[in-house]
Structure 1
Amino acid sequence: MGSSTLLIIIAAIGGVTVALQAQMMGLLDKSIGTLEGVFITYAGGGLLISLVLILTRGGNLGAWQSVPWYAYSSGALGLIIVGAIGYSAPRLGLVATFTIIVSSQFVVAALIDHFGVLGAATRPLDLSRMLGIALLLAGIWLTIR
Structure 2
Amino acid sequence: MILNIILALASGLTNVLGRIINSNLANKIGILPGTFYNYLTGLITSTIFFMFSSNTIRYSPDKFLSLPVYAYIGGALGVVVVGICSYITPKISALYATVLLFVGQLFAGIIVDYFTLHVLSTGKVVGGVLVLLGLVYNAFVDKNDTETAKNS
Do the two structures share a fold, i.e. TM-score over 0.5? yes
**2:37 partner SS:** helix
In the aligned structure 2, how far is the partner of 1:68 from the partner of 1:7?
Answer: 34
Name the counterpart of 1:77: 77
- Whether the aligned pair in 2 keeps the contact of 1:26 and 1:89 (CA below 8 Å) is yes
Change (3 A) 1:73 1:8: farther
Q: Tell me what 1:51 maps to.
A: 48
- In the alignment, which residue of structure 1 is the partner of 2:7? 10
Q: 1:111 is matched by which residue type in structure 2?
A: I
- The question of whether the paired residues in 2 share the 8 Å contact of 1:107 and 1:133 is answered with yes
Taking the aligned partners of 2:117 and 2:26, their CA distance within structure 1 comes to 37
What are the superposed Cα offsets for residues 79-130 of structure 1, whole Å, 9 maximum, x if unpaired?
11211111110122322223223213322322332x2x1xx3233322x323
C-alpha separation in 2, matches of 1:30 and 1:54: 33
Residue 49 of structure 1 and its aligned partner are, at CA, apart by 1.2
Q: Which residue of 1 aligns with 2:87?
A: 87
Q: How many pairs align? A: 136
**Corresponding residue for residue 134 of structure 1:** 129
**Per-residue deviation at 1:68?**
4.9
- In structure 2, the CA distance between the partners of 1:29 and 1:132, relative to structure 1 (3 Å rule), is same
Cα distance 1:75–1:130, how it changes in 2: closer, same or farther (>3 A)? closer
Give, in angstroms, the shift of residue 8 of structure 1: 4.5
Q: 2:17 aligns with which of 17, 20, 33?
A: 20
Partners of 1:23 and 1:89 within 8 A in 2: yes
1:50-93 superposed Cα distances (whole Å, 9 cap, x missing partner): 11222236x23223738953333222121112111111101223
Q: In 2, are the aligned partners of 1:25 and 1:86 still within 8 Å (CA)?
A: yes
The percentage of aligned residue pairs carrying the same residue is 24
**TM-score, scaled to structure 1:** 0.76
Query: Could you tell me the TM-score, scaled by structure 2's length?
Result: 0.73
Change (3 A) 1:43 1:90: same
Question: C-alpha separation between the residues in 1 aligned to 2:43 and 2:71?
Answer: 18
Q: Which runs of 5+ in 2 are unaligned?
A: 141-152
In 2, the alpha carbon distance for the partners of 1:36 and 1:16 equals: 24
- CA RMSD, Structure 1 to Structure 2 (Å): 2.5
Shift of residue 23, structure 1, vs aligned partner: 0.5
